[in-house]
Structure 1
């Protein structure tokens, strides 16, 4: 196991291997096995074209040899920020082939987050696009490299600057080192770390979640079985592929391991997604609350043949029962709720479940070896039907964050259960998510750390005190609201605050979408801001505003 990672106890590891939870293949080998069954079949389709399994693996191996020739070695960390595309999958598989470890960043991340990922992981390479939506990632890459001497390689999907490397050269570059044969690079062992996912970041910037080939494939394969994936599956991915949900729950990897076809949408709007479902005969789509609401409100249903769709999966945040019913009615398919964590546990409703379970539950664990506890604040187990914090351990739930012993002491019990921070109840083996005890804002599945945004706001010269809290939203479930006490003589508008935060180079989805100016904060006897009081007051205020608007 990579230094800085927490391994499973030997008795647990032995049990998972003996039970078949952990196999003998790496992620690259698992996809290769599917490719051998039907090499000429389409594997991935994006806006630029399509790749057969044969070509996908051939291109990935060619890129792996090139990256190895550049100096990347097994267990080297690579901050991986590519957008949804065939290139994303080829580059990801290339890293899986040489045993380098991608740190799964998102296109929305900016310098603050990327620099944190580089420093926290000790990454020697950054892989990023050239430009998208008016943002030049090459400039950002240079800035990060200037601040992080450990970063040796800036690999650009597109046209690089002079001091950067092109991901897939359209021409020979004589200054690049000669490629080395992959014979000099053995396949990684299943127990080695394959990738690092990102936590929601409850107290600031994200923690790193190390996942091994064996444990990640366990979750991929078991969730794939729950979703009914097979060689006939045509999976449509619309959310960022760097998310655990889209990548492997079961997502892209679940489809490839099953021998199906992955379709990557260039956009999330109904006018793009619906024609893709019709043209590619999509059978499974994975989405999230905000997109579900928008798609259901579309007037395009009568213009496209969506009859191929069998399963509509939603994850990231609990979808309201009424929306689940509308999904089944309007898309004429089976709705599947997906609830889980990048740290491990995956719960899904089953396709053959009774309607009441599909419409209301958060599903049940995908592996019989997932161990669930629901506890009160004193860590005492609660009976079924009672709400408490969800604790979990199992064959694909980590034992600790990367290089974070102090955080691990709080986030994990002494006997290896992960404290999810989610409040759930359990009935007949199914979980029902009721909220969170962590101070996070869930904006349509994107997790916003209140503390991180507050720390930035408190550097504004006009702000004396700031508290970021969640406010309810019909589309995103929650949005961030900044509650601010100004210094005497100062003023502040939402536009000014947003411009200030943009200069801090944080992801756009983290920016508060409402600003409330108050004279003082509600304070507890211990001197802490009473966040719950603020949330309740804001919810009442917003309800009054909506009532006034209707009148």
Structure 2
């Protein structure tokens, strides 16, 4: 079988050690699903409210799709295919179809822009782009048509193949799915690269991470054991399904390995999530800290029977101890499990039987006895337990190199991965995350490189200089604040950019929504250090300073007050929010909408649902929907 040079980087003697220890058992993802279908064939594997598939159906449908992709698109073993899907059943179908065909999925996020996708297609040397027609107001089909229309080609000179799943059809893959339900036999060897994940690194373009069948499925199996997942479990998918956390810790792959049932939760607001937990009997959720905070603070918190939930996993960013201690208030039967991991490999969990003080105060310990962890000082010397340092690791599921050898400086000469995290390790091996070595913002679990946002800001004709920082935020973990110095010409002409206009400029420039600053501050100069460098520390302190509260309104749901709430959340002038402005162009994200939704429900709009809010075409439609709900 001919593959491009997709080397995982494990030295042969180390690979043999991992096999001898039983970490790598020689199983592919295709073989894993085949075994689960044999053991749990008639049990429901996954559902999203539109479609349900049993294990047998998932196996058959993915095989038929694999044969169709080969016959119709001419995909070959070792090809790469960028997949961009929301949380729908079709994502799991297409991923296992690609595994069966020996094609490497490249896991884009649904939030990635058209520009992000074009860049990813180019850097991965992709032969195909697979997505849905539309979802949640995003037209994904147009991206596929654009890529095809501009003549995008593969490294072999073939035109880029594009496939769009029609979500409103009984069989969304009818145009390409084959009648042949036999395995293609092309899924490759367990030691082959199975897929490419995206790093959450500090540069603008995420690095590509090649994970083998053997190493990834080992982490899945160990996660299943540690997290208590079994065939009676119901795993709720709230985070983006292609995130490494959602995929493997233990995630959807862990659920499929054990014969559990996967439920795609349609939204992230408290009402939707808690109602789905109650209705579907969800036993395990994997979430990020801002969602936990939002749910705890929501008036919906006591309205649903969520007693089925047994494990609440929180990762992606550090969970504040004060929030961790409140989890039993919302989920009385659930054990909190803190998770600290990375797409490059190492995963740490608090254990379900750990003492409460350890669960709320640490981010866990590694999953494998084969994980080697060291915490070092600036000179590379290991520091004693209890002291802060930089985290380095190697082990049976941590990469030894990025795809095609990118960023070699991320690895030590003896094969340890430099994670970039600052941690404290206690005498028992539990880690407490205290920060990052490099300048990076962790907003609701999404990693943002300030330099990328600063570069985009500097393309604005009225911006002379820009500095972007992350500021602690109770809901987001960190919010993004941009300091902007206008050009002399803009100052002289009185045409200073405002925050709303700058955010709109970044959106039009193609910056992903989660990277657009939550706040833009127009300033005359930046604070500097003693040696003349921009003091981002002082900027963080300034941005974190509390503002004076605005005047209260007698009617919290009158139009002016609702617009003021929106302007406050978007951190723009009230006058910038015209009624005809499309909500999608306002720059508001789902976490901000959730916070407003909770506030408006508490103020009297109790019947308001998240879908109505999120799908309002314009600001005027949103205000009208809130006022109608308040008048009932």
The aligned counterpart of 1:424 is: 423
- Secondary structure in 2 matching 1:24: coil
CA shift, 1:142, in A, is: 2.9
User: CA contact under 8 A between 1:114 and 1:144: conserved in structure 2?
Assistant: no
CA shift, 1:135, in A, is: 2.6
CA shift, 1:159, in A, is: 7.7
Match of 2:153 among 137, 149, 155: 149
CA shift, 1:136, in A, is: 1.6
Query: Would the alpha carbon gap of residues 57 and 387 (structure 1) be closer, same or farther in structure 2, given more than 3 Å must change?
Result: same
CA shift, 1:502, in A, is: 1.1
Q: What is the rounded CA distance, in whole Å, between the counterparts of 1:397 and 1:513 in structure 2?
A: 34
CA shift, 1:186, in A, is: 2.9
Unaligned runs of 5+ in 1: 161-165
The aligned counterpart of 2:123 is: 120
Q: What is the rounded CA distance, in whole Å, between the counterparts of 1:514 and 1:31 in structure 2?
A: 46
Q: How does 1:108-507 map to 2 (within 5 A)?
A: 108-145=111-148, 146=150, 148-150=152-154, 152-158=160-166, 168-170=172-174, 185-332=185-332, 333-405=334-406, 407-408=407-408, 410-427=409-426, 428-490=428-490, 491-507=496-512
CA shift, 1:533, in A, is: 3.2
Query: Would the alpha carbon gap of residues 75 and 326 (structure 1) be closer, same or farther in structure 2, given more than 3 Å must change?
Result: same
Q: What is the rounded CA distance, in whole Å, between the counterparts of 1:22 and 1:2 in structure 2?
A: 23
Task: Judge which range, 284-293 or 299-308, deviates more.
Answer: 299-308
Unaligned runs of 5+ in 2: 491-495, 553-632
Q: Which has the higher Rg, Structure 1 or Structure 2? A: 2
1:38 lines up with 2:40 in the alignment? yes
Provide, for residues 39-76 of structure 1, a one-character-per-residue CA deviation record: whole Å limited to 9, x for no partner: 11111121113211111111111111111112112111
CA shift, 1:6, in A, is: 4.3
User: CA contact under 8 A between 1:317 and 1:442: conserved in structure 2?
Assistant: yes
The aligned counterpart of 2:520 is: 515
1:106 lines up with 2:114 in the alignment? no
User: CA contact under 8 A between 2:295 and 2:301: conserved in structure 1?
Assistant: no
Query: Would the alpha carbon gap of residues 523 and 182 (structure 1) be closer, same or farther in structure 2, given more than 3 Å must change?
Result: farther
CA shift, 1:180, in A, is: 7.5
CA shift, 1:154, in A, is: 1.1
User: CA contact under 8 A between 2:8 and 2:211: conserved in structure 1?
Assistant: no
Q: What is the rounded CA distance, in whole Å, between the counterparts of 2:298 and 2:543 in structure 1?
A: 31
CA shift, 1:547, in A, is: 8.3
Provide, for residues 176-223 of structure 1, a one-character-per-residue CA deviation record: whole Å limited to 9, x for no partner: 798888566433211111111111131211111111111110111111
CA shift, 1:158, in A, is: 1.8
The aligned counterpart of 1:163 is: none
TM-score (norm: length of structure 2): 0.81
User: CA contact under 8 A between 2:65 and 2:177: conserved in structure 1?
Assistant: no
User: CA contact under 8 A between 1:73 and 1:99: conserved in structure 2?
Assistant: yes
Of structures 1 and 2, the one with the larger relative CO (CA 8 A, separation 6+) is 1
Query: Would the alpha carbon gap of residues 183 and 360 (structure 1) be closer, same or farther in structure 2, given more than 3 Å must change?
Result: closer
Q: Greater strand percent: which structure?
A: 1
TM-score (norm: length of structure 1): 0.93
The aligned counterpart of 2:66 is: 64
Q: What is the rounded CA distance, in whole Å, between the counterparts of 2:471 and 2:551 in structure 1?
A: 18
User: CA contact under 8 A between 1:76 and 1:123: conserved in structure 2?
Assistant: yes
Q: What is the rounded CA distance, in whole Å, between the counterparts of 2:350 and 2:190 in structure 1?
A: 29
Task: Judge which range, 5-14 or 76-85, deviates more.
Answer: 5-14
Q: What is the rounded CA distance, in whole Å, between the counterparts of 1:138 and 1:502 in structure 2?
A: 19
